[in-house]
Amino acid sequence: MIKHTLKMWPKIILFGDSHTQRSFDPNNGCWGALLANKFQRVCDIIPRGFSGYNTRWCRIIMPKIFQQFKAEEIACVTILLGSNDSVPVSSVTGQHVPVDEYRTNMVAMINFLTSIGIDKNKIILIAPPNMHQDSFKRWSIEQNRPIIPETWEKDLVKYVDACRSIATEMNLSLLDLYTVFMAVKNDNDKLFNDGLHLSRDGGQLLYDNLLPLIMERVVRITGKPFTDQSMQYPYWRDVNTDDPEKSLHP
């Protein structure tokens, strides 16, 4: 067991847009909640997702978000952005960011994280998943939301490619969620609640593919093999009931 030997509680920070904000929603992706369950009493899973945000806005707020943490406490940072940047420029939502600026913003955020002492080996880029524009259009009409122009589904691929190339050029770990999702050919639409946001099935698939990457980083920061018993502080049956202080203090 890790028990009480660590001087800090490692943190896994999930940074991104609505795919991350909804990662603890039981009716949506819930991949963050699955991580929190897996790493309970081992690491803190901290969601910092901002629905509707693009990289232009996230680049502005990132320093304020990460000033709350110490670099040495961070085991892993995931960055999942691109779905909102790829909204066509003609959309009335104002979320569009040109793909070249998307690349610039992503690189700037990664460089910021390394500048404050977060090793790039702790950073995992997640390429945005595909989407179903017809389904999202129907949902938007039901919710009285703006209708995104028809090219969105096609435009998204350019941002996926940019995310892939950034990971290659900067030698970063990448979870290519677009490729993972597109491999589910027959039931791909079931990975989404509304054509854009993840369903429980989509969240499970993200979690299944992300977990091995995060596990590597948790083992690295704790210095111990991870098992389901790798909890900080001893299991209750291991506490010395006659002298609990002996079990619960170094």
Is residue 52 assigned to a domain? yes
Nearest one of 101, 78, 68, 66 to 14, comparing CA atoms: 78
Does residue 74 form part of some domain?
yes
Give the pLDDT band (50/70/90) at residue 138: very high
* 117: its two tokens: 């002492």
Q: What is the CA radius of gyration of the chain?
A: 20
Residue pair 82/174 in contact (Cβ under 8 Å)? The answer is no
CATH number of 45's domain: 3.40.50.1110
What is the predicted pLDDT for the residue at 216? 94
Q: Is residue 143 one of the residues assigned to a domain?
A: yes
Indicate the pTM of the whole model. 0.92
Domain residues for 188? Answer: 11-227
pLDDT digits (tens, 9 = 90+) for 229-240: 567 777 778 787
Angle between helices 55-66 and 99-115 (to 10 degrees): 10
Residue 227 is predicted with a pLDDT of 67
**Residue 49 CB partners (closer than 8 Å, separation 6+):** 14, 15, 16, 17, 18, 19, 20, 21, 22, 23
Q: Please give the average per-residue pLDDT across 187-215, as a whole number.
A: 96
Query: Is residue 245 a part of any domain in this protein?
Result: no
Mention every residue, 6+ apart, whose C-beta is less than 8 A from residue 68.
none
The Cα-based distances of 218 to 42, 59, 170, 180, 183 in angstroms read: 9, 26, 22, 23, 28
**Domain assignment of residue 236, yes or no:** no
The pLDDT value given to residue 239: 81
Residue 248 inside a domain? The answer is no
Query: Beta strand 11-16 with 44-49: parallel, antiparallel or unpaired?
Result: parallel
Q: Does residue 244 fall inside a structural domain?
A: no
C-alpha atoms less than 13 angstroms from C-alpha of 83 in its C-beta half-sphere: 26
Structure-model confidence comparison of residues 245 and 155, the more confident one: 155
- Asked if the model's pLDDT at residue 4 lies above 50, the reply is no
Catalytic residue positions? 18, 194, 197
d(CA 129, CA 181): 6
d(CA 112, CA 22) in angstroms, rounded, equals 25
Q: Is 243 exposed, middle or buried (0-12, 13-18, 19+ CB in 10 A)?
A: exposed
Mean pLDDT, the chain, rounded, equals 92
pLDDT band at 2 (very low <50, low <70, confident <90, very high): very low
84 in a domain, yes or no?
A: yes
Per-residue model confidence (pLDDT) at position 1: 42
Domain count, the chain: 1
